[in-house]
Homo-oligomer: A and B are copies of this chain.
Amino acid sequence: MSNPTMAGSGKGGRAPRAKSAATIYDIAELAGVNPSTVSRALSKPGRVSAKTQQKILDAAEELNYHVNIFARALPTGKTQTVGLIVADITNPAFFDIIRGAETAASDRGYTLMLAESTESAEHELTAAKRMLATVDALILASPRLADEEIQALARKKPVVVTNRRVAGVGSVVADTEAGVADAVRHLADMGHGSIAYVAGPDRSWMSRLRWETIKERCDWHGIAVATVAAGAPTVDGGRRAAAVVRKAGATAVFCYNDLMAIGLMRELQAAGMNVPGDLSILGFDNIFGSDFTTPPLSTIKSPLRELGVAAMAMVLDETVQESGITMESTLTTELVLRGSTGRAAGHS
């Protein structure tokens, strides 16, 4: 490495690009065989005699040969690439999904191609269509697209969605049931009698599922519950919900995700409210940084990484793809109690 103190603005020479790479013809010549034999030896080992195989391998090594994936893709249509579209790269909830998917992909010799839809169905469709031309398969993480659009994509290439169910399309979702059940039970124990929900984007299937699960558990415990606001699934979205939440008069509030919960909490605190003294706050996902706040956020943890791994495994699973069966897999969530939840206000 050159020395940092050498830093400065300016220009310098640049090395020229390398000449064209070796092809199977070069190998064929060097090994004294036919190009098609080289192709066989390199792509499906076993269809060629042991000694020619070795000659070819040696020649390839010597010439520093690498397949041209475009040339290969032309007849086969396969690129060893899979696309992943996330709503927002900036949302830490997607990190581990991306990580999991990337790991699972490279384990299988595939490369990940990442795009973001910036929470817009339109961008998502554009990105999906552009990718579809290039990739062997596509994963849609928390898509904002309509069912029909997703089904249309799935008609062209294998598609798997995460945190969403779409008829006829493979999917893996984090089950909200377990985490929410524990959370509501805990709140009931702490004397909370009125709970609010701050929803995410209208198009978010997961926001609706979370709400329905919360509602169901609250009804079961005889706790009053209502959706009091909806907004962008961001810190800012949470902030903007603060006024309404405050007026709602609940003693505890679930937010669609941790980002919103953090924004809400900070805005409320800035307005002089005490968390959890005046209000208990819960998020979803357990993202990076959700324990940085004061108090640290209580949340319902999603198995993010596993979601990514499972989605990749599913979309690349040949037997499933061939069979025409639609897989649906469910991973479980877990309550993580930290400092943002406590006894109901005025409850001893």
Contacts and interface: CB of A to CB of B under 8 A. Distances in A.
A173 B288 contact: no
A22 interface: no
B325 A18 contact: no
Contact of A15 (B18, B151, B289, B330): B151
A8 interface: yes
Chain A: interface size category: 35 or more
Contacts of A10: 328
Given A15-B168, A99-B89, A111-B115, A146 B1 contact: yes
User: Which of A70, A96, A131 is packed against the most chain B CB atoms within 10 Å?
Assistant: A70
Interface string A156-188: 110000001111110001000000000000000
A163 B107 CA distance: 30
A67 B70 CA distance: 14
A131 B66 CA distance: 12
Interface stretch (A71-79, A190-198, A310-318): A71-79
Contacts of A113: 111, 113-114
B11 A325 contact: yes
A11 B327 contact: yes
A168 B208 contact: no
Contact of A324 (B13, B95, B154, B203): B13
